[in-house]
Structure 1
Amino acid sequence: MTHHFFLFAKPPIPIAFLQLASLALAILLLQGCATPVGINPVDIQTGYQINTVSALSAGEASEASKMVLRRNGLMDRFETEPEAVLAELHAGLKPSGDEDKLFALAELSLLQGERNDDHAYFLAASVYAWSLLFPGNGGVQLKPSDPRYRLAYDLYNQGIAQGLADPEGDDKGEIEVYLRSGEYPLPFGKLTTTIEQSDLTWGGYKLEHFISTASMQVRGLRNRYRTPGLGASLAASITEQKNSKKVVGSDRIGPRIKVPITAILDLGDARRHLTENEFTAHINVYAANQTKEISLDGHPQPIEFDPTAALAHQLQDNPMYTLEIANFFSGGLFSTMVPQDRARDGLFTLRPYRPGKIPVVLVHGTASSPARWAELVNELEGDSNIRENYQIWAFMYDSANPIPYSAGRLRIALQNAIKEFDPEGKDSALQRMVVIGHSQGGLLTKMTVVDTGTRLWDLISDKPFDQISVNPENRQLLRDSLFFTPLPFVKRVVFISTPQHGAMAAAHEWVTGLVARLVKLPATIITGIAQAAASSGDAKLNRLLRRPPTAADNMNPNNPGLKTLASIPVSPAVRAHSIIAVEGDGPIEEGDDGVVAYKSAHIDEAVSEKVIRWGHSCQDQPEAIEEIRRILMEHLGTPDLASM
């Protein structure tokens, strides 16, 4: 009997079936690892970036705008047909409300404008953002806690800066904004702008060359003080020539000034007109020192300002830095930077004169310039309490000239400014002046608050001054440079790294001799001394004429004039403060800052003394700035000594 066992064997499994089973098993395994919906844990920074990405921060739409695109099935199409998608979203806007779509239109329009450098879409972003922020009667505003709320301001602000920008740009990458009446295309119509030319004036000058600060990165200053709010923040230049209308203080506006201003495109009830093809808007311009907020829809709106960026722009490539050393030896170079119609006495204001604000006068040191006060200026103007109560002035001088001569010029400049600003003596704030001097500037500062009598004159002549026969001009020059009494309006002084008893380098005769050979003194000084010597035959004056002193001589610790000045205390009607730099960690009393020893900078009559572990140029250090801030705040709440 034959057994056919093969008839009962299992048939082979088909290959296709095995493949299908393997795939099913793989799917089951995958499903066990990750569900169709779930999460991917991330760190704090990544999570924040995911939730805050936007057209402004990352060059892509925010989740809020992507949500609108996804809801309408337009996500993929926006990448290929952005203009058509934006037109479709615009056409679908409801007569009111529709905040989600409005925001998406604002952000996506700015994104489109950036991708194609299309100013029409930048302006459209501003129109949409304005409509969202100020929807008019019956409109619904975003809640302040909604992240889109602040972003809508930024979209509006950037839309103005980019939409009104010079289409050609410039080789520096700066964005110059055109503020003028005109017609501008929109993707959905036309925008007509108007502006009052009177709004484009400041301190008696016409504003020009408006550069967007949003496109600036500030360097060289520790802090960037920026007030967030509404409008495109700009840094404006001023014309060299003043307007025909006289403005008090216009002669003293500093050279190369950049004015922090803001442009607001007032679109009125734009939300109600979004279905129309034509829009009108008025361009309003506000300066940081004049207006802080405006009213829209009955609510106060803060204005966006960026004063730090304007200051940095002012100092960008400023020739004052490179002229400091050359001006020390040659003199007169700083004055070439000053327009001819400005004050020629060296005293300048950072902003137009404002009644009711106390002047803070900054006096720089040797081979330096007012530009070296930039850090202090930025910090003081960034403090609202100080900004609202003080106005900053700066004195610029040729620092190789004899110190008494420069001090006389400072005093005359201050007296001139007081007369110009307040001829009737009504502004009490001007009578509470604070003068701050660094290094040699501190010696000039001291000469505003001391009574020298005839002591300085007696050092250079044995003949009474009244018996010297010179012409009126030279007599006035000698009087201004050698006879000092306290200026009644200076109520507080601050000395920073000041060589009250001399500078270390100036003690070496080879240093002072070299400076004397290299420095060119003003002819007026030589002429004045020569005429006095010739008319009197005085031996002291003749010796002085053979070797006229420079500022280096005046800072020699052995100089009789400096010793005399050091022996005269600050007027008891004035509060004096010292900020003294000492390098290293050694004993303060034996230390120095590399230029001035502690014992030289110390004065007994100072009501406060702050020692900073730093080098000579400490005026920009945080500790020095905070001490000055403290002093100024104290000054606000302290009555004048003379009235006590």
Structure 2
Amino acid sequence: MYRSPASGKPRSRPWWGYAWLAGLALLAACSGAVKTGAPEKGDSLVVAQRLWRDAAEIQRKDMAARNWMHCAMLAYHASEADDAARQQQAQAMADNCTHELVGYLLDQEPVPWRPHTIRVVDEPLRVVFRDLPDSLDDGPVVLGRADEVTMPPVMGERFTTPGYGVPLVGWRAPCRDRPICKLYPPDGVTRALTAWVEPGDDGVAQLVVTGTRKHPEMAIGHRSVPLASDFSAPYAALFDRSHINRLALWNLLGGSQFAQEEGLYLLQDYDPAKTPVIMVHGLGRSPLIWARLTNLIDGTPELRARYQVWHIVYPTNTPVLLNRMYVQRMMDRAWQVLDPDGTAPAHQDMVLVGHSMGGVISRLMVSDSNDVVWKAVFDIPPEGLKGTPADIATLDSVFRFHPYPGVSRVIFLATPHLGSPLADSFVGWLALRVVHAHAPELEALHRVVAENGTHENPLLAQDYASHGLSSISTLRAAQPVSRAAQSLMPAAGVRYYTFAGDLPGTTPPGDGIVPLKSAVIPGAVSTTIVKDGHQLYLNDEVLAKILDILRQP
């Protein structure tokens, strides 16, 4: 009924008015069915493309998400075709729709994910975890699209692999309930994942999330298809979360928080068949200096297939020999967890990469001290000293050591093998007064020296009295223990490579911190000198050469 404009009295609506309203309703219903309802039968790729186009016009995101879900499912079916051109079109459509669907779902559920069922409007979508990395496989995982992870400039280029699916990054806090948990970075575990949509056995849509290192391919129909991956995004996400650079600098000044970060950390799940590349940072630095090299190794397929990157975090305020012992203990603890029997190929073939003081530590890791260093401290053997057995055993571990078994190659970057004159300069003098070392091993040394003063090297006692005992003091070329350690060279059978900077106008010639005569040592397989400063871990020529070295058998 409607009212006459003139009288205001109700009267019957003409038949054509009802017809007009009915037509509008029918048109709206048809339009809604095309855009948001279950897809009609027909060519699956054509329908998927139409759903993709229609989704762009739908205002409600949940309705658009339902279109993307159906689109990804239909495109998956179309990917089973034998025609290569059709496969390519279907894969692109499946990836586009999955990309948008995942973005919508992550906005709705930003919390850690477990396998569960989501309702997209009125239809179910199962989330399925398949072959996740072991480090993510026992708990909820925070998911993010890899293309939304910002690459820090220091990492260089982003390395991606084309293929089926949408690259993701999975993150979770480190576990606490297993020995291997101590080998995961304190800022969490990040891993490369890939997601796609496929029908379940009952026809219900499934969002599959899988690890791309374990299974870089998926099966569609009768063929294997490579998965899309982004191997830069996980490390970039970890880099973004880390606050270790600030702690490293604070550690030099006596801060204790850095001690909580010390250890050896795996950046990928352990693989017993892959050669570990163990990176050791320098004074006042952290593993973040290795961002570009780590990204290059993991982003190069042939190197990713051969190597796994491990990072060392150690206290850079303590003396070099003490840090050598710390690094040895870190590696021992790691292998006790990963390969207690010592039979894995990875255990027999390791590569050390050290920058600056980390290079000195790396050289000492592959050297045999015999009694050279010990005699620079005491004039009698350990068994002749007074003191507790524990204290004397501690000093024996610091001053007497053997090459670490299984290390086959070492790469030295800007390493002061013969010390650095900067330690004797005003800057060094100032650093000696602000850099403080606190360690139980140093307390043991003080106790033993107090009971055996007549057997201590008098030159060393004099040096300790004037310069103290820290990482800075032990980088001085004239320091007695350092001078003894400088004579130690890598053991026979260990190949080593040296890199040095030579800045024009620098006196003495060198990178401004380490002289050439200190960075270049005899016996190296190759020596590379570049016109650059101390931060050779950012030099493109140096990084390219390191990759060439790693490509060698």
- Helix, strand or coil for the counterpart of 2:195? strand
Please list, as runs of the form range in 1=range in 2, the aligned pairs for 1:146-165 lying within 5 A after superposition.
148-165=89-106
User: Is the contact between residue 262 and residue 285 of structure 1 (CA under 8 Å) also seen in structure 2?
Assistant: yes
Moved more, 116-125 or 593-602: 116-125
Q: Which amino acid aligns with 1:626?
A: A
Query: What residue in structure 1 maps to residue 368 of structure 2?
Result: 451
Give the unaligned 5+ runs of structure 1. Answer: 1-80, 170-175, 271-278, 339-344, 638-644
Match of 2:546 among 614, 625, 628: 628
Q: Which amino acid aligns with 2:195?
A: A
Does the alignment pair 1:249 with 2:180? yes
Please give the alpha-carbon distance, in whole angstroms, between the structure 2 residues aligned to 1:119 and 1:178.
19
Does the alignment pair 1:482 with 2:390? no
Please give the alpha-carbon distance, in whole angstroms, between the structure 2 residues aligned to 1:477 and 1:514.
30
- Helix, strand or coil for the counterpart of 2:108? coil
User: Is the contact between residue 308 and residue 378 of structure 1 (CA under 8 Å) also seen in structure 2?
Assistant: yes
Q: How many residues align?
A: 521
Q: CA deviation at 1:413?
A: 1.8
User: Is the contact between residue 318 and residue 470 of structure 2 (CA under 8 Å) also seen in structure 1?
Assistant: yes
Q: CA deviation at 1:231?
A: 2.8
Percent identity for Structure 1 against Structure 2: 22
Please list, as runs of the form range in 1=range in 2, the aligned pairs for 1:204-603 lying within 5 A after superposition.
206-220=139-153, 221-242=155-176, 246=178, 249-256=180-187, 257-268=189-200, 280-336=204-260, 338=261, 346-508=263-425, 510-538=426-454, 539-540=456-457, 543=462, 546=465, 548-584=468-504, 591-603=509-521
Q: Which amino acid aligns with 2:324?
A: A
Please give the alpha-carbon distance, in whole angstroms, between the structure 2 residues aligned to 1:85 and 1:612.
67
Please give the alpha-carbon distance, in whole angstroms, between the structure 2 residues aligned to 1:554 and 1:493.
22
Deviations 1:8-27 (A, max 9, x none): xxxxxxxxxxxxxxxxxxxx
Please give the alpha-carbon distance, in whole angstroms, between the structure 2 residues aligned to 1:609 and 1:200.
39
Q: CA RMSD in A?
A: 3.0
Higher relative contact order (CA 8 A, sep 6+): 2
Q: Which amino acid aligns with 2:398?
A: S
Query: What residue in structure 1 maps to residue 18 of structure 2?
Result: none
Q: Which amino acid aligns with 1:575?
A: R
- Helix, strand or coil for the counterpart of 1:463? coil
User: Is the contact between residue 107 and residue 155 of structure 1 (CA under 8 Å) also seen in structure 2?
Assistant: no
Query: What residue in structure 2 maps to residue 14 of structure 1?
Result: none
Q: CA deviation at 1:166?
A: 3.0
Please give the alpha-carbon distance, in whole angstroms, between the structure 2 residues aligned to 1:280 and 1:519.
63
Please give the alpha-carbon distance, in whole angstroms, between the structure 1 residues aligned to 2:242 and 2:92.
35
Please give the alpha-carbon distance, in whole angstroms, between the structure 2 residues aligned to 1:194 and 1:92.
20
Please give the alpha-carbon distance, in whole angstroms, between the structure 2 residues aligned to 1:168 and 1:284.
16
Q: CA deviation at 1:90?
A: 7.5
Give the unaligned 5+ runs of structure 2. Answer: 1-26
Deviations 1:226-285 (A, max 9, x none): 222233322222234345xx5x73331122232222233332489xxxxxxxx6133433
Q: Which amino acid aligns with 2:186?
A: P
Q: CA deviation at 1:410?
A: 0.9
Q: CA deviation at 1:383?
A: 1.0
Does the alignment pair 1:614 with 2:532? yes
Please give the alpha-carbon distance, in whole angstroms, between the structure 2 residues aligned to 1:181 and 1:477.
53
Query: What residue in structure 1 maps to residue 120 of structure 2?
Result: 185
User: Is the contact between residue 119 and residue 162 of structure 1 (CA under 8 Å) also seen in structure 2?
Assistant: no
Moved more, 624-633 or 361-370: 624-633
- Helix, strand or coil for the counterpart of 2:158? coil
Please give the alpha-carbon distance, in whole angstroms, between the structure 2 residues aligned to 1:150 and 1:195.
20
Deviations 1:311-343 (A, max 9, x none): 11211152112222111221432233x4xxxxx
- Helix, strand or coil for the counterpart of 1:166? helix
Moved more, 89-98 or 415-424: 89-98
Does the alignment pair 1:103 with 2:41? no
User: Is the contact between residue 162 and residue 177 of structure 1 (CA under 8 Å) also seen in structure 2?
Assistant: no
Q: Which amino acid aligns with 2:175?
A: Q
| Inter-CA distance 476–296: structure 2 relative to 1 (3 Å threshold) | farther
Query: What residue in structure 1 maps to residue 33 of structure 2?
Result: 87
Query: What residue in structure 2 maps to residue 273 of structure 1?
Result: none
Query: What residue in structure 2 maps to residue 60 of structure 1?
Result: none
Q: Which amino acid aligns with 1:184?
A: R
Please give the alpha-carbon distance, in whole angstroms, between the structure 1 residues aligned to 2:218 and 2:362.
41
- Compare CA radii of gyration and give the structure with the larger one: 1
| Inter-CA distance 392–147: structure 2 relative to 1 (3 Å threshold) | closer
Please give the alpha-carbon distance, in whole angstroms, between the structure 1 residues aligned to 2:197 and 2:75.
14
